[in-house]
Amino acid sequence: MELVTRQTQILQAIDNASTNIIDASHKIHEHPELGYQEFFASNLLTEILQAYGFQVEKGFAGIETAFCARKSSGMGPRVAFLAEYDALPGIGHGCGHNIIATCALSAGIGLGAVIQETGGDVWVVGTPAEETDGAKVTMVNRGAFDNIDAALMAHPHEGNFYITESLAMDCIEIAFTGKTAHAASAPWEGKNALDAMILTFTNINALRQQIQPDARIHGVILDGGKAPNIIPDYTMAHFYIRAKKRSYLNMLVEKFKACVQASALATGTQMSMRNYENSFDDMLSNVTLSERVRDYMVENLGVQSFRRAPDSFGSVDMGNVSHVTPSVHILIDIAQGKPLISHTPEFQVAAGTPYADQMIIKTGKALALTGYDILTQPALLEKAREEFTAALGKPPARS
């Protein structure tokens, strides 16, 4: 694509800020914080954005380490770049959220440099705790993304992909309550909660043959009893249940519940269930906008080998955002052609390399240029909205 004057201004603004952007990535990488504890990262990002003329709201959507930084020039579309910055316990930034944060920072600075000429708004939104509770879900439920026209972000990966197909996920805690008894002298007096839990796993394994290939059910027992000579009166486990589409996941959860209920009935125990983390929707990548980001990466920024989507992916809270507004969640390479698995020490190292630094700047530029097109090309935004409506059977929240 041939770039016009304002687009070159965007690129120049990011180049001029590149030292600050990369320094921020390294500082976040070297100072990992768990979900809802990301005070260092949140403060660092907001201080930089304020220095570039953004108005910052801390504690956005009622979440202490979330923020919304805004630059506005009156009427027009509203584009948001989403930042993540939480780390993993024991590994640090083994998912590269320092890269996600500074791609958004880079894009915001770039588009913010021309916002007075384009009209509309540019937001950089800090979204905590993606690795655990998924703060974007809470933010969606509180209407934080109802007033934007598009949400864009980038996630580090092994290879470049312009579409993310993540799995919808429910996080369910199950518990069984029975009755203790001496396991040798009077076991008939007890009601064995551990038997109920083991039956649940057996029932689920029987169910697996009848579930779709994209579905996943996996769990761990967190409390299985206290001693082998005591009939356990309490057991508890955490499960993740996933599927490619929310509609099928809802059906699968009902079958899961039937497995649990059958176990309680067979053992004479009482069961309870609750969602212990936020539920994630499947990621609905807006192809119209994702292809625009890809085209800028390939045609203008020299990033090659972009493929459509990886063979498999986990679950992301960006999925919930994608169900209220046209959304982009591209995957950018930090592996340089080598095998690289996320949530590992090797990925943590890769997230702080000079190659990753280069990808932050290039990706920030592509996101910012796509944001510029959303602000200045009504036909592009309308096409993205039509795609959203066709996929979900409803218009975006802001339409």
Q: pLDDT (tens digit, 9 = 90+) per residue, 191-212?
A: 999 999 999 999 999 999 999 9
Q: Which residues contact 326 (CB under 8 A, 6 or more apart)?
A: 149, 150, 151, 286, 288, 289, 384, 385, 387, 388, 396
Reply yes or no on whether the pLDDT at 337 is more than 90. Answer: no
- Burial of residue 196 (CB within 10 Å: 0-12, 13-18, 19+) is buried
What Å distances lie between residue 330 and 4, 30, 153, 227, 297, CA to CA?
24, 24, 7, 49, 11
Same domain, 58 and 160: yes
In a domain, 94, yes or no: yes
Same domain, 173 and 228: yes
Show which of 275, 306, 331 is a domain's final residue: 275
What kind and span of H or E run contains 300?
A: none
Same domain, 143 and 242: no
CATH code at position 265 = 3.30.70.360
CATH code at position 84 = 3.40.630.10
- Burial of residue 207 (CB within 10 Å: 0-12, 13-18, 19+) is middle
Same domain, 291 and 332: yes
Q: What pLDDT was estimated at residue 120? A: 96
Q: What pLDDT was estimated at residue 163? A: 97
Same domain, 189 and 130: no
Same domain, 224 and 303: no
Same domain, 14 and 133: yes
Question: What DSSP letter does each residue of 314-350 carry, written as one string?
Answer: ---THHHHTTTS-EEEEEEE-STTS---SSSHHHHHH
Same domain, 150 and 291: yes
pTM for this prediction: 0.93
Same domain, 374 and 286: yes
Show which of 229, 246, 275 is a domain's final residue: 275
Could you read off the pLDDT of 48-63 as tens digits, one per residue? 999 999 999 999 999 9
Same domain, 88 and 232: no
Number of structural domains in the chain? 2
Reply yes or no on whether the pLDDT at 2 is more than 80. Answer: no
Write out the residue range of the structural domain in which residue 118 sits. Answer: 5-166+280-392
Q: What pLDDT was estimated at residue 1? A: 72
Could you read off the pLDDT of 20-77 as tens digits, one per residue? 999 999 999 999 999 999 999 999 999 999 999 999 999 999 999 999 999 999 889 9
Same domain, 342 and 235: no
Which letter, b or e, does each residue of 254-268 get, where b requires 16 or more Cβ atoms within 10 Å of its Cβ?
ebbeebbeebbeebe
Same domain, 235 and 307: no
In a domain, 398, yes or no: no
Show which of 241, 275, 309 is a domain's final residue: 275
